[in-house]
Amino acid sequence: MIEEKYKSIINKLITVFKDAEKQLKHSEHDTNELSIPSINQLRYVAFHLVESFSSQDSSKIEEELNKAINHAQRAKYDAVEIGIVYYLEQIKIFQENYSNYTETLEILANYIEYLTKAQNASDKLQAIKDDEKDREEYYKEIAPYYQILKDVYISFQTSIPLINKKIEENNEKARKENKRFVIGAGLTLAGIVLSIVIALIVG
């Protein structure tokens, strides 16, 4: 049975752990990648829990429980960060593949706005890292960018087949126009040659 004086801290641990587990599942589902840093942090949670259960010293128990909470929080932060980094990478790949096509702007009217959001997120992530803020404050500042970048990524992925189709349609249109130009130019040239021949014969 849990002693009354430890219930509050254990309830906090449970809450933080569930939050971390939820974020970890989101990140793994969205990126198809395991967040190894987060998993390692959750292993440390288990380690400190065992340490707290094996101690009879109340101060030691609280110390170990607080360490477990810190690792659970770190697991959540790492899961968020890996998701943000993943989306930034995918957005960069899309930009490299499609930024030079005018069809991208035709399909994605808010393309520049999306790129601005991604750049702001990247700048913010780097600024926070350079600022050496504590993890709790760090998480609060970067967490909102997870959903922002996810939305941008989904918009880009959804638009890819539409952009490719538009590119193919425009290429086909250009091929037809070139063909008509060549035929027209050929007929014009033939007409000129024929006129010259007739003039020579008549003359």
What are the residue ranges spanned by the domains of the chain? Answer: 4-202
Q: How far apart are CA 33 and CA 73, in angstroms?
A: 20
% of the chain residues with pLDDT over 70: 80
* Window from 24-33, 115-124, 157-166, 167-176 with minimum mean pLDDT: 167-176
**3-state class (DSSP) for residue 149:** helix
87-109 pLDDT, tens digit each? 999 999 999 999 989 999 999 99
Instruction: Choose among 17, 34, 37, 16: nearest CA to 25.
Output: 34
The encoded tokens of residue 202 equal 């008549």
Mean pLDDT of the 179-203 span: 66
Q: How far apart are CA 141 and CA 126, in angstroms?
A: 12
The structure's pTM equals 0.74
Query: Count of residues for the chain?
Result: 203
At 1 the pLDDT is: 40
Q: How far apart are CA 50 and CA 65, in angstroms?
A: 10
At 104 the pLDDT is: 93
Instruction: Choose among 99, 120, 96, 97: nearest CA to 108.
Output: 99
Q: Packing angle between helix 111-131 and helix 58-98, nearest 10 degrees?
A: 140
